[in-house]
Amino acid sequence: MLAVENLSVEFRTRSGVVKALEAVGFTIQPGETVGIVGESGSGKSVMAFTLLGVLDRAGQVTAGRALFQTDSVAVDLLKEPESSLRQLRGKELSMIFQNPRTALNPIRRVGRQIADVLRCHTDLPEADLRSKALDMLASVRIPDPDKRFDAYPYELSGGLCQRIMIALALACSPHLLIADEPTTGLDVTTQATVMNLIKDLAEQRQMATILITHDLALAAEYCDRIVVMHAGHVVESAPTRSLFTHPRHPYTAKLIAATPEPHKSFAELIPIGGNLPDLKAADLPPCRFSYRCDYFEPSVCNQTPLSREFLSPQHQVACWKPL
């Protein structure tokens, strides 16, 4: 469905060039859910915005390609003109943005926003748009769809706004859904409801799903595979069970050790020391985790280019000394 290869992105700012992504690569199959995890600043959302062609104007793709399989042919999302991307967005690939209250139009009724997507990407007659939008509201389990259709975003709770975002993203049955922190700001019960809803709809439609999150527990429960990012690098990718039972990159192991679990006390949680490196620095090391790594050896770890090896057919790690 999607193959991202060697994707590199830079941002040109007044204080220097920020190397936001470097040689990022992963694949996703139809019906599969892939989690992209890592702490804030790892480049997860930048990667998503790049794929959709909505990157900030200061951002520039310097290398790579993203091959997306449409109904008829594979296209490189990074080279498609804006007119073509506009036809793909919302129809073939969609995104649930992190904050639904800012993503939704605050002065347009939510039902009409769904109808706008249908009007743009389908041949439905105008008279049928409301009925289809109501069906979408019902499909994401919004109570009393007729009433909610005419509501403004500020009149709805965070959970309902998130479901509206899901309805918008799924209105045209896309082949690929990118969910960027879809449970941010929701209570635990609503989080589970939203994630179960996305999972059920993905299974029904054989839709590929990219789940971007910093919540490893959430990724472990809902994802088939995990891609771990740190400071613009993919440091490890593996099937979920394999990654959690035997993490091979030191950063992945530290992330798991810092994740709260029901049987762990706060004293057992091990924080990750240090901070992300300055991505504007001219002398960034090949491994951007080396500043924080307990196993760092200059003679080995500073070799270039950074090692990216398959330890098994589905388990890749970017480390000269995997655990």
In a domain, 107, yes or no: no
**What confidence score (pLDDT) does residue 253 get?**
95
User: What is the C-alpha separation between 80 and 60, in angstroms, rounded?
Assistant: 14
DSSP one-letter string for 91-107 = TTEEEE-S-HHHHS-TT
The verdict on residue 234 lying in a domain is no
Q: pLDDT value at position 173?
A: 85
pTM: 0.92
Is 218 within a domain?
yes
Q: Check which CATH number belongs to the domain holding 62 and give it.
A: 3.40.50.300
Please report the pLDDT score of residue 282 as a whole number: 86
Rg (CA), the chain: 21
Residue 116 has what pLDDT? Answer: 93
pLDDT given at position 262: 75
* Residue 34 located in a structural domain: yes
Which of 45, 70, 71, 51 lies closest to 4, judged by CA?
51
Output the pLDDT for position 195: 87
Domain assignment present for residue 259? The answer is no
Give a yes or no: residue 182 inside a domain: yes
pLDDT tens for the chain, 323 residues long, are: 899 999 999 999 998 999 999 999 999 999 999 999 999 899 999 999 999 999 999 999 999 999 998 777 889 999 999 999 998 998 899 999 888 888 899 999 999 999 999 999 998 999 899 999 999 898 888 899 999 999 999 999 888 898 899 889 988 889 999 999 888 767 787 788 888 888 888 888 889 999 999 889 889 999 999 999 999 999 999 999 999 999 999 999 999 988 887 777 777 778 888 889 999 998 899 999 998 999 999 989 999 889 899 999 999 999 999 99
In a domain, 97, yes or no: yes
Q: What distance in Å separates the CA atoms of residue 110 and residue 146, rounded to the nearest whole number?
A: 11
Please state whether beta strands 59-69 and 233-239 pair in parallel, antiparallel, or not at all (unpaired): unpaired
Residue 204 lies in a domain: yes
Query: Domain containing 6: what range?
Result: 2-101+174-223
Phi, psi of 295 (to 5 degrees): -110, 15
* pLDDT for the residue numbered 158: 83
pLDDT for the residue numbered 274: 87
> In this predicted structure, what is the pLDDT of residue 202?
86
What CA–CA distance (Å, rounded) separates 136 from 205?
14
Q: How many domains does the chain divide into?
A: 1
